[in-house]
Amino acid sequence: MNQTTGNHIVIIGGGFCGTMTAVNLFAKAKGPLSITLFNSGYPENKGIAFHTYSEEHVLNVPCQNMSAFSNEPDHFLNWCKSENKVKIPKDELPGKFLSRNLYGKYLDEIFKDALEQKSALINFEIIREEVIDIEKSGEQYVVHSNSGKKINANKVVLATGNHPPAHPPLANKNFVDSPRYFANPWQESAVSNTEPNETILIIGTGLTMVDVVLGLTEKQFKGKIIALSPNGYNILAHKKHHPQRNILDELEPPFDLTNLFRLFYKHVRDARLRGESGETVVDAVRSHTQIIWQQLSLEDKKRFMAHVRHLWGVARHRLPSEIHKQIQEMIAQNNLQVLAGRINEVTVSLNNLIVDISLRGGNKIQTLKVQRIINCTGPLTDISKFQSPLYANLLAKKIIRPDEMKLGIEATAEGRIIDHDGNESKSIFTLGSLLKGKLWESTAIPELRKQAERVAELLLNNN
């Protein structure tokens, strides 16, 4: 067993959240400190999001809003301008949506600079292995890796990020073992080795679907793509110029979904009468979304998830205009078809997958013969269903529990884990997508950078 003395922090996960937690610890620590960062699956500092197989995959937030530091809002913008890292006129950079791989290089540079500048009193180690268990040992925890390593820790950070989508909830799941079914849309294999005349079914019509379509296009796929979701909503484009709306003065607690919906509807209608985009209403409350979500009742949260979530997602998660135009052209040319409906059954045949679909708005059943299915339904959020020995063990030991909406881990707003018995931990923390149930908005850089800064402060606090 690795024996440690003093304050030893273990960070599990090397994507944005894990990386920036470490960077903030390097900057804020005033005394001796040991930090071990476990990372597996993707290169550290990048994670799934910023180490993609395609240069066509771009950020969904403009360059000017992508700083990794909340107190230096132009940090990424200035980094891009320095040494001409991108071939875009500097005056156009603020509003540009840049490559996600470029952002990964940015995080790499931040981390390496922070590592070089850290105090000699800070000992840092990266272990490129999977963590499979955490056990309590007196006032400490023992972190177990899949190779048998055991690391003592005073405090632990769960920064494991997004998990692959859940399989479609069908009675017959034989198709999930077919080589024609791709459960993880973020792997290059999902868009590789296609045949010229293939028909591909993408389950999901959100931003991940767009990434997959762009990946297929980059690989010169010439076949037919069908995208299916229960509502079949069309993804919207970011508006380059739109007036800011001010509705915060009309937001008064206690919040309830009915009154919020009325307020939103009033402002969306007003915006459209003025010839403006209704999505500006969603943008106007962005800074207050976490506060509103925390004050909604459990019943209202469930109503939101059942009836409003997809509409909110369409308005909230938009595409750069150039990519939106490309997707619309593919739809117009019938290279991409978007359907609203649900899958009833998938049958595996010799060279095909036969998919029976109930189309929305009637009793019509459509049967599709496809050669590939790619699951783009979004990350699995119910931790009790994660295909992860770590989370299975933490749940079994009652160290963690799912939040009431099954969107992540039960925790405080600042990231302290709450165990099965309702006790707030002083030693185990989380951030990022695992806090979605608590905060709702917990996946974009403007939220994540603040969380990493706050968690670092809590880790260094002895209380």
Structure tokens at 446: 């403007």
| C-alpha dihedral, 94 to 59 to 212 to 364, nearest 10° | -90
Question: Which has the closest alpha carbon to 231: 142, 322, 121, 313?
Answer: 313
Alpha-carbon distance of 140 to 137, in angstroms, equals 5
260 alpha carbon, distance to own chain's centre:
25
For residue 8, give the amino acid letter.
H
Per CATH, 8-57+99-163+381-460 and 174-236+319-375 having the same topology is answered: yes
Question: Tokens 């295909």, residue?
Answer: 387
On whether the CB atoms of residues 458 and 414 are closer than 8 A, the answer is yes
Q: Supply the pLDDT for residue 98.
A: 96
Q: Supply the pLDDT for residue 283.
A: 85
Question: Tokens 């925890």, residue?
Answer: 141
On whether the CB atoms of residues 38 and 452 are closer than 8 A, the answer is no
Question: Which has the closest alpha carbon to 438: 412, 402, 417?
Answer: 412
Question: Tokens 């709450």, residue?
Answer: 418
Alpha-carbon distance of 99 to 94, in angstroms, equals 14
Alpha-carbon distance of 162 to 17, in angstroms, equals 11
Which contiguous run of DSSP H or E holds residue 446? helix 445-460
Question: Which has the closest alpha carbon to 144: 157, 155, 135?
Answer: 135
Query: For the chain, what is the total number of helices (H) and then of strands (E)?
Result: 13, 16
Structure tokens at 46: 């990048």
For residue 71, give the amino acid letter.
N
Structure tokens at 423: 């006790």
Half-sphere exposure of 113 (CA within 13 A, CB side): 9
The SS3 call for residue 271 is helix
> Phi/psi zone of residue 371: left (φ > 0), alpha (ψ -120 to 50 degrees), beta?
alpha
Alpha-carbon distance of 285 to 380, in angstroms, equals 26
Alpha-carbon distance of 269 to 280, in angstroms, equals 11
Question: Which has the closest alpha carbon to 113: 64, 75, 152, 161?
Answer: 75
Class of domain 8-57+99-163+381-460: alpha beta
Q: Supply the pLDDT for residue 2.
A: 47
Distances 163 to 7, 261, 378, 418 between C-alpha atoms, Å: 30, 31, 9, 21
Alpha-carbon distance of 138 to 279, in angstroms, equals 52
Q: pLDDT tens digit string along 77-88?
A: 999 998 778 889
Structure tokens at 314: 């369409």
SS3 letters across 306-375: HHHHHHHHHHHCCECHHHHHHHHHHHHCCCEEEEEEEEEEEEECCCCEEEEEEECCCCCEEEEEECEEEE
Residue-wise over 210-234: b if at least 16 C-beta within 10 A, else e?
bbbbbbbbeeebebbbbbbbeebbe
- Positions in the chain short of pLDDT 50: 1-5
DSSP secondary structure of 131-186: EEEEEEETTEEEEEETTS-EEEESEEEE----BPPPPP--S--GGGGSTTEES-TT
On whether the CB atoms of residues 180 and 206 are closer than 8 A, the answer is no
Q: Give 223's contacts (C-beta < 8 A, 6+ positions apart).
A: 194, 195, 196, 197, 198, 199, 200
Question: Tokens 């009154």, residue?
Answer: 259
Ordered by start, the domain boundaries in the chain are: 8-57+99-163+381-460, 174-236+319-375, 248-316
Alpha helix (H) ranges present in 397-441? Answer: 436-439
The answer to whether the bond into 254 is cis (omega within 30° of 0) is yes
DSSP secondary structure of 64-90: GG--S-TT-TTHHHHHHHGGG-SSS-G
The SS3 call for residue 416 is strand
Q: Supply the pLDDT for residue 5.
A: 47
CATH 3.50.50.60 corresponds to the domain 174-236+319-375: yes
